[in-house]
Amino acid sequence: MRGDLVLTTDTTGHQAGALRSYDPYGQPLAPSGTVDTQKVPDNSPGSMDYGWLGQHQRPYEHTGALSLVQMGARPYSPLLGRFLSVDPDEGGSANDCEYVAGDPINAVDLDGHGFWRQRHPGKLGKGRPLCRGRSHMGRCDYRIQGCADRPSGR
């Protein structure tokens, strides 16, 4: 749902390594569902791999029990469920280090600048919402305006 990498395959398409799962804040889980900091992915050379939000190419860096996810503008700690530096956008969040206003089920912040919750995707068309959402700054509607359904030359 969030773009977590849960399975790695070899060149023939067969499963290589264990199945992975993560809690909403990005901590690796054991098959029993408990947090297990030793269950980090190992799918790249070195200590930086792809796991939680890996589809979005967010590297999961781990050394022992310490894990960090590089989220563009600032590093994120799955253990704390918080960013490790203040929000670079003044007034971007009620708390300078919080992750997605405490709602990682419905929102992601892939660049460390702010998060977006998609609520009601719409259909493309003149004046129709492209998407509607709610962010920490309020409700937003993006609409297609103009002459999308006019013949050219008029």
* Beta-strand pair 75-77/82-83: antiparallel
According to the model, what pLDDT value does residue 82 have? 92
Hey, what are 5's tokens? 């990498």
Q: Distance of alpha carbon 5 from its chain centroid, rounded?
A: 12
Sequential pLDDT tens for the chain (154 residues):
566 767 777 889 888 777 788 888 888 888 888 888 777 777 677 777 777 776 667 777 777 667 888 888 889 898 899 999 888 877 666 788 888 888 888 888 888 887 654 443 444 444 444 444 444 444 444 444 443 443 444 4
Q: Output b/e per residue, 31-49; b: 16+ Cβ within 10 A.
A: eeeeeeeebbbebeeeeeb
Terminal-residue alpha carbon distance, the chain: 44
pLDDT for res 71: 84
Other CB atoms within a 10 A radius of the CB of residue 92 amount to: 17
- By the 10 Å C-beta count (0-12 exposed, 13-18 middle, 19+ buried), 139 is classed as exposed
pLDDT of residue 23: 86
Can you give the residue ranges of every domain in the chain? 1-145
pLDDT at 18: 77
